[in-house]
Amino acid sequence: MKKHKIVVCDHIHKSGLDILKATENIELIYAADINKTELLDIIKDADVAITRSSTNIDDKFLDAGKHLKAIVRAGVGVDNVDIDGCSKLGIIVMNIPTANTIAATELTMTHMLSCIRKMPMAHKQLKDEKIWKREDWYGSELYGKKLGVIGFGNIGSKVAVRAKSFEMDVITYDPYIDSIKATDLNISYTSNFDDILSCDIITIHTPKNTETIGMIGEKEIQKMKDGVILINCARGGLYDEKALYTNLKSGKISIAGIDVFEKEPAVSNSLLELDNIIVTAHLGANTKESQYKISTQAASNAIEASRGVGYPNALNLPIDESKIPPFVKPYLQLSQKISFLISQLDKTKVKAIKIEAQGDISSYLDSLMTFSIVGALTNSLSNEKLNYVNANFIAKKQEIKLTTKKVSNTSAYKNKITIKITTKNSSNEIAGTIFNEDVQRVIDINGYDMDIEPSGSMLLVTNSDVPGVVGEVGKILGDNNINISDFRLGRHKGGALAVILVDDDIQDNVIQQIKEIQAAKTVSFVKI
């Protein structure tokens, strides 16, 4: 079986490297210490590249990576990735949006407290200058102060909640969210940006793009209170640094807490000359816990992408993400995984794909179909690049009949999708749903009730519902040193389906032994 090549272009936590090394059919190329010119030669036959901020995914990189399926940015920001260029080439761009949420949130609170109490300056005077002058360090309290939060995503919302615990008056501005997301947390919401500019303290938590670069400049600062405190632990350049410098120097801004800069490393930045600024060297994700989560999630996402199983947190989907509710995305990923699973039950040519949906998710059938096509055809199109951008085109080229249907909600599930794939030899149908916002579950396989996560290595055995079958299967697996990690059983109409999760791959000779069990009808080994 062909190995999928994953190139790690920048330094990530060892935990992610360990996952890549231990995964079968993955070839890890660790190129974090290679100069960027040599890197261009290394990625020429890579399937996936994992990057951080040190590698620019630009024209040269994309031109060199002729076989790239995906780019995984091990972190939140994608300033260094040419997303449009990737999209034109059918390369999926993914990031890790939540792994550093707590780290960045807590750093923001650290800067806020440091600014209002001037802790670094007081520390320096006592420790380095050996001066004990308490009267020099009268600070203020967060209690009762008005905090303006620009951007109410993963980090901004958590900063707001923590600020409320200090009994601050918190208001947020974010034109891309439903105001109920804030008000449900007892946070005031405004659509008037001037309301933010009138706050005592302002912290910014937006992505860096054409809309947000320099969004706080001279004009905005002049509308602020005298003595305002500004915090930026998001992306460099969201505050105009020239305006920031001028107004810190004049005292219009009393103090600022800055973790990110327009150009990094910022060792020569003029802001460092000022006494009323507290700075850190882009430490938003620098906790042991955060680096572990970023690395392991990046590795897992890269493995899924290399196999075509899924593209978690894809940023250049062929749908306008600003127009879909958050609950939709997990269903898109689930539809791809279900179709990928079905494609392994019968590997003959796909003739038709049918998707039925019930509940609110039924409004997104076209998008579900796109993801389903990618999952269904990944294994059969090894020599052709397949992704969300070209999936429908390739399906039509393959003369695959595509059918979508909205059905009335008659089940106990709020939302449910059912995918049926017909091949040259058979038809298989699997249904799934999402629990607790993002927990994926397969709930039906060919009419057998089931409850499994679509992940890992699985043995599927259909058999006559007679005693002893499970024991026979278990003995064969045990005799071949294959460990069972979980077991699920579905029954109906005198038959049974066993889904056995295992820790190791099951070779063909073992499959054949199981097929020879008298009561066995079908035996399939699948990996997701």
328 located within any domain = yes
306 located within any domain = no
Instruction: Report the SS3 class of residue 424.
Output: coil
Do 472 and 449 share a domain, yes or no? Answer: no
Range of the domain at 220: 101-279
48 located within any domain = no
Whole-number Å distance between alpha carbons of 111 and 280:
9
Predicted local distance difference test score (pLDDT) of residue 314? 84
388 located within any domain = yes
Encode 287-314: b = buried (16+ Cβ within 10 Å), e = exposed.
beebbbbbbbbbbbbbbbbbbbbbbbbb
176 located within any domain = yes
Cβ atoms of 15 and 295 closer than 8 Å:
yes
Give mean pLDDT in consecutive 10-residue pieces for the chain, a chain of 528 residues: 90 96 94 95 96 93 94 90 86 90 97 97 96 95 98 95 98 91 96 97 91 95 98 96 98 98 95 98 94 96 88 76 77 94 91 95 92 88 68 87 91 92 93 89 93 91 88 92 91 86 90 91 90
CATH number for position 182? 3.40.50.720
Partners of 75 in the β-ladder: none
Whole-number Å distance between alpha carbons of 72 and 480:
37
Kindly report the length of the chain: 528
Cβ atoms of 272 and 279 closer than 8 Å:
yes
Q: Which among 323, 305, 318 is positioned nearest to 96, based on CA atoms? A: 305
Do 228 and 194 share a domain, yes or no? Answer: yes
Do 470 and 450 share a domain, yes or no? Answer: no
Do 499 and 377 share a domain, yes or no? Answer: no
Q: Which among 250, 231, 198 is positioned nearest to 115, based on CA atoms? A: 231
CATH number for position 351? 3.30.1330.90
Instruction: Report the SS3 class of residue 333.
Output: helix
Do 324 and 448 share a domain, yes or no? Answer: yes
Rounded (10°) CA dihedral 203, 213, 96, 176: 70
> What's the total number of domains in the chain?
3
Which residues, in sequence order, are CB contacts of 146 under 8 Å at separation 6+?
Answer: 168, 169, 170, 171, 198, 199, 200, 201
Cβ atoms of 458 and 499 closer than 8 Å:
yes
Catalytic residues: 235, 264, 282
Whole-number Å distance between alpha carbons of 203 and 111:
10
215 located within any domain = yes
Q: Which of 397, 422, 455 is the last residue of a domain?
A: 455
Cβ atoms of 281 and 255 closer than 8 Å:
no
Q: Are strands 484-492 and 188-189 parallel, antiparallel or unpaired?
A: unpaired
Do 337 and 461 share a domain, yes or no? Answer: no
68 located within any domain = no
Do 389 and 486 share a domain, yes or no? Answer: no
Cβ atoms of 416 and 358 closer than 8 Å:
yes
Do 378 and 247 share a domain, yes or no? Answer: no
Q: Which among 5, 53, 9, 54 is positioned nearest to 25, based on CA atoms? A: 5
Cβ atoms of 457 and 525 closer than 8 Å:
yes
Do 262 and 324 share a domain, yes or no? Answer: no
Q: Tell me the two tokens of residue 239.
A: 């505050």
Q: Tell me the two tokens of residue 496.
A: 């049974």
**Residue 461 amino acid letter:** V
Predicted local distance difference test score (pLDDT) of residue 528? 86
445 located within any domain = yes
CATH number for position 495? 3.30.70.260
Whose tokens are 């300033």? That residue is: 79
Predicted local distance difference test score (pLDDT) of residue 110? 98
Q: Tell me the two tokens of residue 418.
A: 């059912």
Predicted local distance difference test score (pLDDT) of residue 477? 92
As to burial, measured by CB atoms within 10 angstroms (0-12 exposed, 13-18 middle, 19+ buried), residue 18 is: middle
Q: Which of 432, 455, 478 is the last residue of a domain?
A: 455
Do 409 and 515 share a domain, yes or no? Answer: no
Cβ atoms of 426 and 496 closer than 8 Å:
no
Q: Which of 455, 481, 512 is the last residue of a domain?
A: 455
Do 354 and 420 share a domain, yes or no? Answer: yes
Do 237 and 350 share a domain, yes or no? Answer: no
Q: Which among 352, 357, 314 is positioned nearest to 335, based on CA atoms? A: 357
Q: Which among 300, 402, 309, 296 is positioned nearest to 355, based on CA atoms? A: 402
DSSP state of 216: B
Q: Note the Cα 304 to chain centre separation in Å.
A: 12
